Structure 1
Amino acid sequence: MTPLARAQRRLKAHPLALDAALAAGVLLCMLAGSFVDPHGERGVSWSIRTPDPLSLLLITLGAAALVFRRSAPMTVLALTGTCSVAESVTGDPRAPVAMSAVIALYTVASTTDRPTAWRVGLLTMTVLTGAAMLAGPLPWYAQENLAIFAWTGIGATAGDAVRSRRAVVRAIRERAERAERTREEEARRRVAEERLRIARDLHDVVAHHIALVNVQAGVAAHVMDKRPDQAKEALAHVREASRSALNELRATVGLLRQSGDPEAPTEPAPGLDRLDELAGTFRNAGLQVEVARADHDTRLPAAVGLAAYRVIQEALTNVQKHAGPDARAEVSVVRVGPNIEVTVLDDGAGDAPAPQDGGGHGLLGMRERVTALRGTLTTGPRYGGGYRVHAILPVKTRSSAPEDSA
Structure 2
Amino acid sequence: MAFVLCLLGGLLHDDDTLAPPQAPTYLIAAVSSAMLLARHRLPVATVTATTVCGMLVAPLGLLPSPLVIAPALISAYSLAVRSELRVTVVILLPSAALLVAPTPFFETDFSWEDTSRLVTVAASPLIAALLGRSAQHRRAYLTVVQERARRAEETRDSEARRKVAEERVRIARELHDLVAHQITLANAQASVAAHLFDTRPEQTRVSLEELVKTTRNALDDLRATVGLLRQPDDTSAPIDPAPGLSQVPALLSAFRRAGLEVWMHEDGTARPLPPAVDLTAYRIIQEALTNVTKHAPAGSAQVRLSWHRDHLSITVTDDGKGPATPRRPPGYGLIGMHERATAVGGTLTAGARPQGGFLVSADLPLRSAENTARTTEAAAGSEDR
What is the TM-score normalised by the length of structure 1? 0.80
SS at match of 1:379: strand
1:127-166 aligned within 5 A = 127-130=98-101, 132=102, 137-138=106-107, 142-166=115-139
Question: Per-residue displacement from partner, 1:211-256 (whole Å, max 9, x unpaired)?
Answer: 1111222232333344333332222221121122122222222222
CA contact (8 A) 1:84 1:128 kept: yes
* Counterparts in 2 of 1:247 and 1:50: CA distance versus 1, 3 Å: closer
1:366 equivalent among 319, 333, 337: 337
* Counterparts in 2 of 1:377 and 1:119: CA distance versus 1, 3 Å: farther
Q: Give, in whole Å, the separation in 2 of the partners of 1:219 and 1:243.
A: 18
- 1:31 and 2:7 aligned: yes
2:313 equivalent among 315, 328, 341: 341
Q: Runs of 5+ in structure 2 lacking a partner?
A: 380-385
Q: Which amino acid aligns with 1:94?
A: P
CA contact (8 A) 1:55 1:91 kept: no
The corresponding residue for 2:360 is 389
Q: Which amino acid aligns with 1:29?
A: L
* Counterparts in 2 of 1:129 and 1:312: CA distance versus 1, 3 Å: farther
SS at match of 2:165: helix
The corresponding residue for 1:276 is 249
- 1:54 and 2:24 aligned: yes
Q: Give, in whole Å, the separation in 2 of the partners of 1:191 and 1:62.
A: 62
CA contact (8 A) 2:192 2:259 kept: no
The corresponding residue for 2:75 is 104
Question: Per-residue displacement from partner, 1:23-49 (whole Å, max 9, x unpaired)?
Answer: 2xx332321221212x52xxxxx2134
Question: Per-residue displacement from partner, 1:277-327 (whole Å, max 9, x unpaired)?
Answer: 111111111111111123534211111111000000111111112211x43
Q: Give, in whole Å, the separation in 1 of the partners of 2:159 and 2:21.
A: 69
CA contact (8 A) 1:106 1:155 kept: yes
SS at match of 2:9: helix
1:283-322 aligned within 5 A = 283-322=256-295
SS at match of 1:337: coil
Q: Runs of 5+ in structure 1 lacking a partner?
A: 1-22, 41-45
Task: Report the CA distance between 1:210 and its aligned residue.
Answer: 1.1
- 1:167 and 2:143 aligned: no
The corresponding residue for 1:231 is 204
The corresponding residue for 1:14 is none
2:92 equivalent among 121, 134, 158: 121
Task: Report the CA distance between 1:276 and its aligned residue.
Answer: 0.7
Q: Give, in whole Å, the separation in 2 of the partners of 1:77 and 1:238.
A: 93
CA contact (8 A) 1:62 1:97 kept: no
Task: Report the CA distance between 1:330 and its aligned residue.
Answer: 0.8
CA contact (8 A) 2:8 2:68 kept: no
CA contact (8 A) 1:52 1:91 kept: no
* Counterparts in 2 of 1:382 and 1:122: CA distance versus 1, 3 Å: farther
Question: Per-residue displacement from partner, 1:104-160 (whole Å, max 9, x unpaired)?
Answer: 110221233433333333353354345x368x5248984454333211111111100
The corresponding residue for 1:20 is none
Q: Give, in whole Å, the separation in 1 of the partners of 2:218 and 2:191.
A: 18
* Counterparts in 2 of 1:154 and 1:345: CA distance versus 1, 3 Å: same
The corresponding residue for 1:92 is 62
1:83 equivalent among 53, 78, 89: 53
- 1:209 and 2:182 aligned: yes
CA contact (8 A) 1:109 1:156 kept: yes
**Higher relative CO (CA 8 A, sep ≥ 6), structure 1 or 2?**
2
Q: Give, in whole Å, the separation in 2 of the partners of 1:128 and 1:347.
A: 102
**Count, aligned residues:** 368
Tell me how large the CA RMSD over aligned residues is: 3.1
CA contact (8 A) 1:307 1:369 kept: yes
SS at match of 1:291: strand
Q: Which amino acid aligns with 2:227?
A: G
Q: Which amino acid aligns with 1:344?
A: V
Q: Give, in whole Å, the separation in 2 of the partners of 1:210 and 1:109.
A: 76
CA contact (8 A) 2:270 2:307 kept: no
CA contact (8 A) 2:225 2:239 kept: no
* Counterparts in 2 of 1:380 and 1:121: CA distance versus 1, 3 Å: farther
* Counterparts in 2 of 1:349 and 1:120: CA distance versus 1, 3 Å: farther
Task: Report the CA distance between 1:69 and its aligned residue.
Answer: 4.3
* Counterparts in 2 of 1:298 and 1:265: CA distance versus 1, 3 Å: closer
* Counterparts in 2 of 1:301 and 1:265: CA distance versus 1, 3 Å: closer
SS at match of 1:332: strand
The corresponding residue for 1:241 is 214
Q: Give, in whole Å, the separation in 2 of the partners of 1:104 and 1:265.
A: 67
Task: Report the CA distance between 1:270 and its aligned residue.
Answer: 0.6
Q: Give, in whole Å, the separation in 2 of the partners of 1:400 and 1:385.
A: 40
SS at match of 2:243: coil
* Counterparts in 2 of 1:242 and 1:118: CA distance versus 1, 3 Å: farther
* Counterparts in 2 of 1:146 and 1:368: CA distance versus 1, 3 Å: same
What is the TM-score normalised by the length of structure 2? 0.84
